[in-house]
Amino acid sequence: MKTDHNKQIPAFEVHDLTVAFDKKPVLWNIDLQIPQGKLVGIIGPNGAGKSTLIKASMGLLPISSGYVKILNEPIDEVRQHVSYVPQRESVDWDFPASVMDVVLMGRYTQAGMFRPLRQADKDIATDCLKQVGMLQFADRQISQLSGGQQQRTFLARALAQQADLYFMDEPFAGVDAATEKTIIGLLRSITDSGKTVLVVHHDLQSVQQYFDWVILLNTRLIASGAVTEAFTSELLKETYGGKLSILSEVGNLIRRESFPNRETTLP
């Protein structure tokens, strides 16, 4: 597999993508390109197709029309370079496994599904646990973890994949403030090394602080661009439609966008 990608090619490219469940479109004619090295927020109301965009891009859902390219290749050619962090609630945490067991799953692509893991793989997993601040919990059973610790475990597994593109489905859902801070710091260090991270995100308040690129989605693509250009009052209104409470929230946000600290922007 090639490992050094031309920095000019887009990390993630979607062309005329339509995804439908039972003939009802969930994503309609999506067209976008994300440059490499960006921390990208995927924003939109519930049912806007945010998770669907990720799952369809990873080949987990059938595509009705259009195509997705990752680092200029179809997904099946570059699976080793792409990492996916599912929603935390999507798995059964009572499964008999330790934190280390889960993180080692991240090495399956590189180590081979049927070959034994080597010491190098275990060292990488240990290092990833250290990065998310979970090393002391390596042997803990996963059902004994808090929500934030579960999320960190998933993040460590993704790091262990050593991918170039990361898809994360709501990594901030139901985690404590300390974990949120740890996670965003990690994502920033990933993108600083030239890799790309796409995050499904719900909290509009923190968008400007966290991301440098946003995808505004509501079945159709409303906008995709640098936060400074795409995260505007008009485009957000278009994304969220007539939801008044959110609209006023958006109004406040835009007015106060010069204040980066979200605690001080709360009324």
Partner 1 sequence: MSINDWYIILTASVVSASCAILGCFLVLRKMAMVGDAISHAVLPGIVIAFLISGSRDSLIMVAGASAIGLLTTFIIEFLHRRGRLQSDAAIGVTFTSLFAAGVILVSAFTGKIDLDQDCVLYGEIAYVPLDLFITDGGTIVGPRALIIGVVVLLFISGFVWIGFRPLALTTFDPAYAGTIGVSAALWHYLLMGSVSVTTVASFESVGAILVVALLIGPATTSYLLTDNLKIMILLSVLTGIIASAGGYFLAVRMDGSIAGAIASVNGVLFLLAMLFSPRHGLITKKIGRKISAPVQSE
CA of residue 135 relative to chain centroid, distance: 23
Q: Is 216 in contact with 43 (CB distance < 8 Å)?
A: yes
Please list the residues that pair with 13 across neighbouring strands. 33, 69
Residue of 109, 126, 206, 265 interacting with partner 1 (CB under 8 A): 109
* Sheet (strand 65-70) strand order: 24-34, 12-21, 65-70
Identify the H or E element spanning 178: helix 177-192
Residue 223 Cβ, how far from partner 1 at the closest point, in Å?
27
According to the binding rule CB under 8 A, does residue 58 interact with partner 1? yes
147-166 residues in contact with partner 1 (CB under 8 A) are: 147-148, 157, 161
Least gap, CB of 219 to partner 1 (angstroms): 22
Q: Are 74 and 67 in contact (CB under 8 A)?
A: yes
| Residue 178 found at the interface with partner 1 (CB under 8 A) | no
What stretch of H or E contains 120? helix 119-131
Q: Is 208 exposed, middle or buried (0-12, 13-18, 19+ CB in 10 A)?
A: buried
Rule CB under 8 A: say whether 201 interacts with partner 1: no
- Verify binding: residue 145, partner 1, rule CB under 8 A: yes
Handedness of CA 111, 153, 155, 56 (dihedral sign): positive
Q: Which of 10, 18, 29, 55 binds partner 1 (CB under 8 A)?
A: 55
Binder of partner 1 out of 16, 31, 123, 176 (CB under 8 A)? 176
Q: C-alpha distances in angstroms, 88 versus 93, 145, 150, 157, 190?
A: 9, 12, 7, 13, 20
Q: Tokens standing for 230?
A: 């795409």
Comparison of 32 and 56: residue with beta carbon closer to partner 1: 56
- The 238-257 contact track toward partner 1, x by CB under 8 A, reads --------------------
Determine if 91 is a binding residue for partner 1 (CB under 8 A). yes
Residue closer to partner 1 by CB (options 12, 84) is 84
Q: How far is the CB of 93 from partner 1 (least distance, A)?
A: 9
* Residues shown for the chain: 267
Least distance from C-beta 154 to partner 1, angstroms?
Answer: 9
Interacting residues toward partner 1 by CB under 8 A: 55, 58-60, 76, 79, 82-84, 86, 90-92, 95-98, 101-102, 105, 108-109, 113-114, 140-141, 143-148, 157, 161, 174, 176
